[in-house]
A and B are shown apart, each in its own frame.
Chain A
């Protein structure tokens, strides 16, 4: 009996060892494939498309989603009194600042780290959970930073361009960044993963409600701009792509300085 127990433990130990090795191998392979794919695609120019036809189909779906849901909601939201809209916008921006804090740290941008942290503390306390924005009056101007931008600062290229369902334009780098955001964003830890942080807790509904409000707020701010773009574009898909890539590039550089690519066009 004792021998059987010993053998059983040995066999169990071996099975666990093999399983562990296999899982580790799988994780290693997965990480290797991810890193390899990422590095390969990050060498592409951002203008390069990985699956243009698929992206265009998703883009059409997103535009239909916008026509049926986002635009009517944004128009309704625009009818709300200004103090409510400003309060909602301040509240979501304040929560978004939480993601900027670890990213500023990862980027080694300590000035912005100070702005983000101080802005979040001041607006959450004095600004009553971020509904008001006294930090701005104090001269605190935090930039919104995410993992995609951090990877950009580390030197990773954007990789190929793609369109995500509902979420819209992206690149290989920014899509990986988007996933990574949920791991380093303190708000995602408290809500999606339901961890308690400094006594605060929440659930996934809180997370998606804040993200949804933020998207509606953005859409309502840009009702005229997007309508004008749609009205005047020959290829709306390409216009969105160009605007997205220019905007991401500006955010990585933390500058809106125009890049002079007029070259020798001096007629």
Chain B
């Protein structure tokens, strides 16, 4: 009887953790994650604040924000002091989450379908998907660059919307700011912080 009780308790916890986690297969991972996000974003019983909090939570768990912050810094990441790099990463994470929630609430009423999966290397798989807006506007092709170095925990590193990489756009935007300010990262951090105050 006691063993049965323990099994029940374990099963309960196992199910609880499974409710939060997505598949480790990159294709299923993206489908489950985006379907979950769309269903939450289109849930009229949730406030915008609750939706934003949910998006932030899944982004923190499933997007490789640290790698993204280093990528967007370009070659400068190699020559930057650890301390400055850390404050840049902190500012970048806040900036990323704010811009992500603002972007995703704009695309809430859409249908989502994963169309293909292309393993580029042991570390990367590109998941191809299509978003069909309910408004009847043309469908949008979105590719997801999934980092699979740890096969038990796939992480999103980039979104390629109709062939346009959001990570690369961000990288080139930051490069322009850095180039016109003698590669001074503190100015970039200041701009990120100004954005957060808006």
Chain A: residues with Cβ within 8 Å of the partner, total of 30
Cβ-closest chain A residue relative to B161:
A225
- In the complex formed, the residue of B with least CB distance to A239 is B173
Range, interface on chain B: 35 or more
Rounded to whole angstroms, the CA-CA distance of A125 and B128 in the bound complex is 36
Assess whether B192 is in contact with A267, with CB atoms less than 8 Å apart: no
Beyond A265-B70, A265-B71, whether A242 also contacts B168 by CB under 8 A is yes
Complex Cα–Cα for A227 and B67 (A): 27
Which residues does chain B contribute within 8 Å of A246, judged by CB atoms? 163-165, 168-169
Query: A242-B168, A258-B158, A262-B71 are contacts. A235–B163 as well, Cβ < 8 Å?
Result: no
Q: How far, in angstroms, from A261 to B163 measured CA to CA in the complex?
A: 14
A111 at the binding interface (Cβ < 8 Å): no
Considering the chains assembled together, what is the distance between the CA atoms of A7 and B149 in angstroms?
90
Partner of A250, one of B136, B163, B191, B192: B163
Interface residues of A in 113-168 (CB under 8 A from B): none
Per the bound structure, the CA–CA distance linking A235 and B72 in Å amounts to 14
A233→B95 CA distance, assembly (Å): 10
The answer to whether A242 and B71 have CB atoms under 8 Å apart is: no
**A209 smallest CB distance to B (angstroms):** 23
Q: Shortest CB–CB separation between residue B11 and chain A, in angstroms?
A: 36
Question: Are A232 and B103 in contact, with the CB atoms below 8 A?
Answer: yes
Say whether A68 faces chain B, with CB atoms less than 8 Å apart: no
- Residues of A within 8 Å of B168, CB to CB, are 242, 246, 261
Expressed in whole angstroms, the Cα–Cα distance for A224 and B180 within the complex equals 29
Assess whether B25 is interfacial by the CB under 8 Å rule.
no
Asked whether, in the complex, the Cβ of B176 is within 8 Å of the Cβ of A238, the reply is yes
Contact with B along A250-267 (1 / 0, CB 8 A): 100001111011100111
Given A234-B195, A267-B66, decide whether A228 and B173 contact each other with a Cβ distance below 8 A.
no
* Residues in chain A near residue B99, CB distance under 8 A: 231-232
Rounded to whole angstroms, the CA-CA distance of A257 and B164 in the bound complex is: 9
Closest approach, in angstroms, between the C-beta of A226 and any C-beta of chain B?
11
- Would you call B102 and A242 a contact (CB within 8 A)? no
- A256's partner among B71, B138, B163 (CB-CB below 8 A) is B163
CA distance A47 to B169 in the complex (A): 12
Q: Determine whether B31 belongs to the interface, using a CB cutoff of 8 Å to chain A.
A: no
Interface core residue of B126, B145, B165 (most chain A CB under 10 Å): B165
Q: Which of A221, A238, A241, A246 has the most CB of B within 10 A?
A: A238
Q: A258-B143, A265-B71 are in contact. Are A235 and B120 (CB under 8 A)?
A: no
When C-beta atoms are compared, the residue in chain B nearest to A234 turns out to be B191
Please indicate which of the listed interface residues B99, B141, B172, B177 has the most CB atoms of chain A within 10 Å of its own CB.
Answer: B172
- The complex places the Cα of A241 from the Cα of B174 at a distance, in Å, of 12
Instruction: For the complex, give the distance between the alpha carbons of A258 and B106 in Å.
Output: 24
Q: Which residues of B are found within 8 Å of A261, using beta-carbon distances?
A: 168
Q: Is A237 an interface residue (CB 8 A)?
A: yes
Which residues of chain B from 11 to 25 have a CB within 8 Å of any chain A CB? none
Q: How far is the CB of A235 from chain B (nearest CB, A)?
A: 5
- Decide if B164 touches A243 in the complex (CB within 8 Å): yes
* Beta-carbon contact of A256 and B173 below 8 Å: no
Q: From residue 131 to 167 of chain B, which have CB atoms closer than 8 A to chain A?
A: 136-138, 141, 143, 145, 149, 157-158, 160, 162-165
Which residues in A have their C-beta under 8 angstroms from that of B163? Answer: 246-247, 250, 255-258
**Quick check: B173 and A247 within 8 Å, CB to CB?**
no
Q: Which A residues are CB-close (under 8 A) to B186?
A: none
Chain B residues near A255 (CB, 8 Å)? Answer: 163
Asked if A260 contacts B120 (CB within 8 A), the reply is yes
Q: Which residues of B have CB within 8 Å of A266?
A: 123, 149
**Given A232-B102, A242-B172, A250-B164, list of 19 further CB < 8 A pairs?**
A224-B107, A227-B106, A231-B99, A233-B173, A234-B173, A234-B177, A235-B176, A239-B169, A239-B172, A242-B169, A243-B169, A246-B169, A247-B164, A250-B163, A255-B163, A257-B163, A258-B145, A260-B124, A266-B123
**What are 7 contact pairs spanning A and B, CB under 8 A?**
A234-B173, A238-B173, A255-B163, A256-B163, A262-B71, A262-B145, A267-B66
